Structures are given as C-alpha cells and as structure tokens.
Amino acid sequence: MVSFIVRRMLLAIPTLIFISFISFVIIQLPPGDYVTAYAAQLRNAGDYITKAQEEMMRQQLGLNDPMLVQYWRWISNIVFRGDFGFSLEWNKPVGELIWNRLGLTLAISSLSLVFTWIIAIPVGVYSATRQYSVFDYVFTIFGFLGKGIPDFLLALVLMWIGFAYLQMDVGGLISPQYENAPWTIDKVLNILSHLWVPVVVLATGGAAGLIRVMRANMLDELGKPYVETAYAQGLSERQVVWNYPVRVALNPFISTVGWSLPALFSGDVITAVVLNLPTTGPLLLQALKMQDMYLAGSFILILSVFTVIGTLISDILLAWFDPRIRFA
C-alpha cells in the first residue's frame, strides 16, 4: 500500500506540471490578451484608451514577454514562494481573491454532496430490493426528471416559488442588511435561509443520476451466488443487503471522489451565476472571459491538484472497500 501511494504521488508531479503548462497556453490561445479585453470593455462603456496606452500596459504587465518566460515566472513563484501572482483585472493578489470565496464554495458544495449521498444510497437500495414496486416507479420518474431538468432552470423555479409563495429573500447568500454586520445568530439564520436553494438544486441533479447507478449495481449484485449463500445461512434481508451487495455497489460512489474534490472547489458555475452566489465559479468564468491569465491559470492548477488528489484517494478507498481490486 505504501509503495503504491508513493508511486502514484511521483507520477502526479509530472502530470501537474504538464497540466499547468497546457492550461497556461490554452488561456492565451484566443486572439488578443488581457489588455485587448480591457480596452473592449472600456469601449462598451463609452470610454477608450489609445494604442500607445495599450502598449504601455502590456509592457508594465509583462505581456510582451515570451510565453515560456511568463509561464516560468508564474509557476516558479507558486512553487518556491506560494505566490499565485496578481490578478490583472481585480488588481489584487490571486490568493486573496480565491481564499475569500473558498469558504462559501466549500460549504455549499459539501452540503450538496452530503445530501446527494444521503438521498441516493438508501433510495437506490430500496428501488433495487423492491424492483417494479410503486415507489420504484416513483423514484425512477424522479431520476429522469432530475437528470432532464437543467440546474439553472430548477434554480429559477425555486427562486420564484420562494419569492412568490414563501415571501423569502432569494438570490445571493445573505440579505443586504447583514453583509457588513457582525456575526450573530440572526446573520447565520439569514445565510441558512438562502442556502437551501443552491443545496437543493445541486443535490437534485447529482442524486437523480446516482440513484440510477446504485439501483443498477444493486440489481447486478443481488442475483449473484454469494447473496443466495448469505440468505441460506439464515441472515436477515437487512444483514445480507447492507453487509454484502451494498458494499460492492458503493464502488461508483467512491470512484467519484476524483471529480468530487475539484467540484467542491469550483462549485456549479451556471447555478452560481443564476443565483448570484459569491463563490469561486463566477470568478473563474470572469477570469477566462477577460483572459486574466494568472487568476484563471491558478484556478485550473488548483482544480488539477484536487483532481489528482481525489483520484489517489478513490484508488485507495476502492482497494480498501473491495478486496477484489488489486494494485501492483
């Protein structure tokens, strides 16, 4: 196990270097650069800067340097100093921008993931053990609807219901009167009153898909000889189902840790934009639109690190949960 983990970590280093370089290059592939996008934004607002001013900005920001020089300046500062660089658009350190929004992003994404698993696992098990029952059909319909309805549309519907029928302040994560107020019980309750919409939206789509996966895997396992042997030994249905086939059927859930960790960091971008959530997703979208290479590159690098770590955790947990999975 130890040698396996060490080998995977050693393989992760060149993988991350390659991903960081490719990401940095792709960000700069569209025509123009940050100064071009900034000048276009000014023109749309009725203002402008001269070509000489644009060239001076490029010189000051180091955008005229070769791409390899820019990449090395950025990645070396991260590796040796922990400095993610300076956001060109926000004129602030990248680390400050990311960490300010990371707490809320992790809170929303973690709650959504927990609710997804709490719903998907027992419902999937019930649907498989009570195949073709009334509730199995109900959960099947829920699964199809949950996967078919876009998250942003569900968010708009829930916002309308909350505003029109529940007289709730929807959108954002906190009411304006509490934004700069000190932390009190009322402020926490106000955040919780806003939190249910994004959590329900994100958990619905995830749970709908995983219910179908859990049901299909359980049906595959319930017909196998080891389950019949367990019943023949006099074990109850609850003991047989939860001690044997459920453990094997959980493999797809464990394997999703690889993409769950980066999803916790980035959140759902479209849902966050629709609900006006101050999370990291809209910040990444804006950085890509403005070609803010240090901010966008740092986001992608962090997402890559989370993906590699999540994949490693998935492999270890799969080997631990299912003895049939071997690693060399």
Q: pLDDT (tens digit, 9 = 90+) per residue, 1-50?
A: 667 677 777 887 888 888 888 888 887 777 777 788 778 777 777 777 88
Average pLDDT value for residue range 210-215: 86
Please state, for a pLDDT cut of 70, what percent of the chain lies above it.
Answer: 93
Q: pLDDT (tens digit, 9 = 90+) per residue, 68-120?
A: 888 888 888 888 888 888 787 787 888 888 887 877 787 787 888 888 888 88
Structure tokens at 129: 């053990």
Structure tokens at 136: 């199995």
Asked whether residue 320 is assigned to any structural domain, the reply reads no
pLDDT-derived band at 229, boundaries 50, 70, 90: confident
Among 72-81, 121-130, 174-183, 253-262, which stretch is predicted with the lowest mean pLDDT?
A: 253-262
Asked whether residue 67 is assigned to any structural domain, the reply reads no
Structure tokens at 69: 């020089």
CA end-to-end span of the chain, whole Å? Answer: 9
Query: Quick one: pLDDT at residue 243?
Result: 81
Query: Is the pLDDT reported for residue 225 higher than 80?
Result: yes
Asked whether residue 29 is assigned to any structural domain, the reply reads no
What distances in angstroms separate CA 135 from CA 11, 112, 129, 142, 220, one per listed residue?
46, 24, 11, 10, 20
DSSP letter string over 87-132?
A: -TTT-SBHHHHHHHHHHHHHHHHHHHHHHHHHHHHHHHHHHHHTTT
Asked whether residue 223 is assigned to any structural domain, the reply reads yes
Q: pLDDT (tens digit, 9 = 90+) per residue, 277-296?
A: 888 888 888 888 877 878 88
CA 197 from centroid of its chain's CA atoms: 17
Query: Quick one: pLDDT at residue 4?
Result: 66
* Residue numbers of the domain that contains 170: 98-289
Query: Is the pLDDT reported for residue 258 higher than 80?
Result: no
Please state, for a pLDDT cut of 90, what percent of the chain lies above it.
Answer: 1
Q: Is this structure's pTM higher than 0.75?
A: no
Average model confidence (pLDDT) across the chain: 80
Question: How many distinct structural domains can be found in the chain?
Answer: 1
Structure tokens at 173: 């994560």
pLDDT-derived band at 234, boundaries 50, 70, 90: confident
Average pLDDT value for residue range 200-218: 84
β-sheet bridge partners, residue 86: 93
Asked whether residue 52 is assigned to any structural domain, the reply reads no
* Long-range CB contacts (within 8 A, 24+) of 55-58: 58/33
Query: Do 139 and 190 contact (CB within 8 A), yes or no?
Result: no
Q: What is the DSSP letter of 178?
A: G
Helix, strand and coil percent figures for the chain, each rounded to 5: 75, 0, 25
Query: Quick one: pLDDT at residue 265?
Result: 66
Average pLDDT value for residue range 297-320: 79
CATH classification of the domain holding 209: 1.10.3720.10
Distance, CA of 269 to CA of 259 (rounded, Å): 15
Asked whether residue 11 is assigned to any structural domain, the reply reads no
Average pLDDT value for residue range 132-142: 88
